[in-house]
Structure 1
Amino acid sequence: MFTEDLIPVASGPPPVELYLASTAGPPDRTLLVLHGGPDWDHSYLREPLDRLAGTHRLLMPDLRGCGRSTRGLPDDQYTPDAVVSDLVTLLERTTDATPVDVLGFSYGGLLAQLLALTAPDRVRRLIIASSSVLPPPPGGAGPRFPDDPALTGPALTRAAAFAGAEQDVWSADRRAEYRARLARVRFSAEWLRALRAGRLPSPRVPDAAHRLAALGTPLLLLHGAHDRTFPAGLVADTLPLIPGARGVVLPRAAHMAHIDQPEPWLAAVAQFLESS
């Protein structure tokens, strides 16, 4: 179902290629999916989005430094602006001039907002999933990095993902499937290295709510009610600031709402993509 390619997006030095998993579908119904982490890959989001293949064309890249995309870049080349530049080039090389729909998940939701504001002519609709427009309150939950000096690099990122499973998936009976999905993720630690070196700029757009409101791009906030990374109350706080924005908060779902509630999560995505 998925075609796999390496797409050159930056000439460097060093040159950067993005690994891209894509499906067939109408070019004018393309959905670009941006994963979170950021030191993960796109694979944990394939299901249930793969059910849209055919009616939509899916573009699911691994960001620079992630998965099977180029790694080993200097720390100062892991920035949100560099990612957006990669994505604009990716769209230039894989689509025509028709704008695409964009779904950004968690950290990818922050990157999706930056992409929409940087290249508004390329983004038709915007889905911010398990992420936020407004900053979360202080003291929120984040990655749980084990206090084990023997764990470094991708092994540390992987261990943190597994340690967060009970926090990120609300339904106990869905956690085994989630852990199996995590076992297939090609974790890296490129962005973590940049973060610890103090060279990672914030991906959060200043005054994002008012800037997105002025942009007028149709917006869906898709959230789990028990999300501890980006609390669900941020949805209600954001909607009055962006006229026309929609919010869907799924019960019995946490940060990985597409794992907890795959059917209603996908239904919310599909309904929004079909909206005018």
Structure 2
Amino acid sequence: MAGAPELPQATLERSHPIAYTEAGAGDIVLLIHGSLCDYRYWRWQIPQLSASYRVVAASLRGCWPRAGTHPDPGYRIATHVEDMIALTDALGDGRPVHVLGHSRGAQIALEFALRAPERCKTLTLADPGFRFTHEAPVEPFYLPAVDLLAQGETDAAAEQFIDTVNGAGTWRKMVGWFKQMVRDNAATLRSQVLEANRPEHLEDIGRIECPVLLLGGADSPARYAARQDQLQAVLPRARREVIRLAAHGMNLANPRAFNRACLAFLGDGA
């Protein structure tokens, strides 16, 4: 991940401005990042995907470069969905877009497709971690990180979160730009925990009609594959791919395989 390319920044001016980066031309591919990230997370996807599509990667409200004060009760999935719909409507004149979300961003992507199905051309969910309505709420795995943030221990909080989702020792091995991105967004966990158990209805998901791709890291914690098992049960035509040599941060650990899987799916779903 060394030598990461710089990304130009643009802003959609509205009551809550949305910072984003874009490249390429054609149908829009919207990239939605997960926890502790922002549009910089997608720097290894944008160059390759933008050779065939207009790639738009946004920073969610409350994240860098317009990090707010946390905890913030307005930092919510529904608000982020509204923002992403507004962004794609503004940039694409309301035409359908390809929506790809990772981790918490996968829940935003899913709810985008449920709320505005006519605007969603394809849906890609990479390691979604949300619970379903038939499951009991569970204690968020990142509660220790939230406690560390309250004590001003940002790096320790980041290490707890990143190592839990990607494997012990991951934080220590990460390159500088990634660590800085995580530090810039670490405080969002103090808001995210307020909505940690927002559930999704499998019956609603089963009515999704657009093509769906489920992506998982071969070495991701088992809970992510379990999410995909249940999604595939109600979306039997969904394509499923496993990214080898990668855990939860699959698009960074093995970007070639991740990009190849996305491009193959987008081409078939066009």
Letter in 2 for 1:179: V
Alpha-carbon distance in structure 2 between the residues aligned to 1:147 and 1:246:
39
Check the 8 A contact 1:162/1:182 in 2, yes or no: no
Letter in 1 for 2:241: V
Q: Of residues 179, 182, 187 in structure 1, which corresponds to 2:184?
A: 187
Instruction: Specify the alignment match of 1:218 in structure 2.
Output: 211
C-alpha deviation, 1:49, in angstroms: 3.7
Instruction: Specify the alignment match of 1:35 in structure 2.
Output: 33
C-alpha deviation, 1:18, in angstroms: 1.1
Q: Paired residues, what number?
A: 260
Letter in 1 for 2:75: Y
Alpha-carbon distance in structure 2 between the residues aligned to 1:69 and 1:129:
25
* TM-score normalised by the chain length of structure 2: 0.81
Letter in 1 for 2:28: T
Alpha-carbon distance in structure 1 between the residues aligned to 2:61 and 2:80:
7
Judging changes above 3 Å, is the alpha-carbon distance between structure 1 residues 5 and 93 closer, same or farther for their aligned structure 2 residues? Answer: same
Q: What SS does the corresponding residue of 2:84 show, helix, strand or coil?
A: helix
Q: What SS does the corresponding residue of 1:223 show, helix, strand or coil?
A: strand
Alpha-carbon distance in structure 1 between the residues aligned to 2:136 and 2:262:
26
Q: In the TM superposition, what whole-angstrom CA distance separates every residue of 1:48-101 from its partner, at most 9, and x where no partner exists?
A: 343111311111111010011362488232221111111121112211222000
Alignment of 1:236-247 (within 5 A): 236-247=229-240
Letter in 2 for 1:30: I
Q: In the TM superposition, what whole-angstrom CA distance separates every residue of 1:133-178 from its partner, at most 9, and x where no partner exists?
A: 65489879833528657843xx62x5433344445446989973x3
Instruction: Specify the alignment match of 1:231 in structure 2.
Output: 224
Check the 8 A contact 1:140/1:230 in 2, yes or no: no
Alpha-carbon distance in structure 1 between the residues aligned to 2:32 and 2:209:
21
Judging changes above 3 Å, is the alpha-carbon distance between structure 1 residues 171 and 251 closer, same or farther for their aligned structure 2 residues? Answer: farther
1:96 to 2:93 alignment: yes
Alignment of 1:259-274 (within 5 A): 259-274=252-267
Q: In the TM superposition, what whole-angstrom CA distance separates every residue of 1:90-124 from its partner, at most 9, and x where no partner exists?
A: 11221122200011010000111111111111111
Which moves more between the two structures, 240-249 or 111-120?
A: 240-249
* TM-score normalised by the chain length of structure 1: 0.80
Check the 8 A contact 2:131/2:197 in 1, yes or no: no
Check the 8 A contact 1:169/1:259 in 2, yes or no: no
- Runs of 5+ in structure 1 lacking a partner? none
Alpha-carbon distance in structure 2 between the residues aligned to 1:270 and 1:169:
24
Instruction: Specify the alignment match of 2:11 in structure 1.
Output: 6
**What is the aligned-residue RMSD (CA, Å)?**
3.2
Instruction: Specify the alignment match of 2:3 in structure 1.
Output: none
Check the 8 A contact 1:257/1:265 in 2, yes or no: yes
Check the 8 A contact 2:20/2:59 in 1, yes or no: yes
Alpha-carbon distance in structure 1 between the residues aligned to 2:112 and 2:139:
25
Judging changes above 3 Å, is the alpha-carbon distance between structure 1 residues 274 and 33 closer, same or farther for their aligned structure 2 residues? Answer: same
